Structure 1
Amino acid sequence: MIRNIITLTVNDLAIAFKNKTIYLILFIPLFVFLSLQFVDQKNEELQTIQIGLIQNEEYSPVIIESLKAADTVFVVSWLATEEEGRRWLKEKKIDGFLLKSKKEPRSLELLVLEKASFRTIAIVEGFSALQIAVEGKSKNWLSDITSLRDSGIQRQTLPTWILMLVLLVGFIVIPAQIAEEKEKKLLLGLLQTPVRECEWLLAKLFLGMILIHLAVIFLHLLGKFEVENSLSYCAFIGIGSFCFSSFGIFLGFLCRTQASARTLGVLFYLPLLLPSALSDFSQKLHSFAPVLPSYQFYGPIKAILLEGGRISSFPLEWIYLCAVGLITSLFSYLLLKKRWLM
């Protein structure tokens, strides 16, 4: 009995090595470790904070002098109007700007893009440290923090869930289906018929795009989320679904079995999901994430959903996504012509 258990266990381990499942056991802890290294540490060098001040506002001279003295931490930009400050915030030219508080005359109101971001935390901590250094433990200079993206937590997290759904279909569902058709010789048999390679490839692209659109629509129906610029939103979902469906088909062609396809899909899924989704909470991730196609999709979707942005404001992003989709489609077509691992 013990011998049989040991034999079966060793056999299962051998299958795990053969199907590359064991790679996940090694990859996930390594990926978590590397992600933690990208997250800002306590001893990290302090980043300068771009803070805006309105020219016609009456600020306390102590606060103005303190901000000018702390030029290694705060970089002050003077704004003509509050509307200009809001525009600069959306364009990320500044991290926040100060207004005179309506509730407490001696205090200030901080207007930021998002409350739950590492830049907002840095501003609050910087002001707190500056105040303690100048006045000690007196009344707080900041009485309130207002966000331009003033919406509930459900809507704030919606772009992250959209990104997760799109990547899930592109890197988990599609590669496994492609590998299954190869493993069972279904694809090889289909190509013996008058069906051409480009027709099969386009059908798989449409399948991935349809699945992604269905998942997004179902999520919106369940959460009753409304979209201000629905045309821009649908267009960008379409561009993203094309890009990641094409990428998933390419990954499926690199694998012989479903198990290896799922493993390879996870190896791409996590590194594309987490840096983009967590980029607002770490300066390092915010600097690294833009090289990923997932961030080029996540950023515009977030702006469209939370700020009422339009697709015309993100030409480089959709060109980048289309280029990735076209390149991976070309590679998939070449592998299909060569009957790769079939």
Structure 2
Amino acid sequence: MSELASLHDLPAPISEVARAADDAGGSVIVFNKDDHVIFVNIEQRKIMPCCEYKRSDTYSSLFWSLLEKGMNGNSVAKKDPELWLRRAIGARQNSANMDFVNSYPWGKMLVSHYRCEDGTSIQARLNMTSAGLEHYFQGPEANLGVTRAIRLRREIRALEGVLDSLGLAVALVDRNGALLHANVSFHDVLDAQDGLVNLTGTLLSATDQLDNMVLHQALGHVADGLVPRAYAPIRRRSGDPLVLAVSAGTTPGTAILAAARFGEDMGEVCTALREAFGLSAAESEVMAGVGSGQTLAEYAGSRQLSMHSAYRYIDRAKKRLVEKHSSVVDLPGIASLVTGIAAVTRAQGGRKL
């Protein structure tokens, strides 16, 4: 028997799928119309070293080799291998495209099967963990196909690159605070251990015990869909609080944290408020104080103002918002508005360490 074909020898569109999967670190195996192996990549040989991969090998012989060496994680195949193999061959021969997630001893893999009109077929597998996809695609919706997953993976990595260039600290967590992904700025916050820490390497927590209770309550409520969003001011060793905006993630049970790092760009926040709503300096400052998590009493005390002055400034600010057709009418609404503006001002200003 002659040696297997190279990647360049494969016909289109098989070669395009094989190249994309190979570049993404996926495993690839190609069969001819008689179901004999004609190509395998290096990753395929690594994850399934069950045979020598000669042209005499077929889909059936590989199946039996995998089963014999305990490398097939499918419980149905183990229970009745002959029945499973007949059904698998029938499905491959009669389906031009199949996408599914399969469990193997080394983890879950996204599997795609493509069959051309001439009978040539390809199976491409992508490890969900090593490809960085398992936190983004879970459950039935994960059956999105290897090639589409590769495109989404590229988009995710491009988005991560954009997020890493921003001063806005962003992270994806589960309802318990387990860190699924964080951009560079969020890691900067954690490394500083000033208000927010991840000392165990597993769960986020606030350094202040009461703040930590508020944070995890907000995470649980948002991730479970009880509220669409929440805000958690986190006290730091000095300066204004770190305010975390908590929003629901697209995957059930997850939440997105965005940290507006007040105290580093308060001047930019006040400027943005003045320009957007025509506020005076005093009005913008009291709004920024409320947005940073302070009560009016705390703000007044920090500025050596009377409570009467603080109320007068915030009432004037509310009237300005109404004139600009804003729907914000209370202090929580102002805090939400200012947090969003603070996030934008940090994003525009870039990272400030």
* Normalised-by-shorter TM-score class: under 0.3
Higher helix share: 1
The TM-score with structure 1 as length reference comes to: 0.23
Larger RCO of the pair (alpha carbons < 8 Å, separation 6+): 1
Rg larger in 1 or in 2?
2
The TM-score with structure 2 as length reference comes to: 0.22
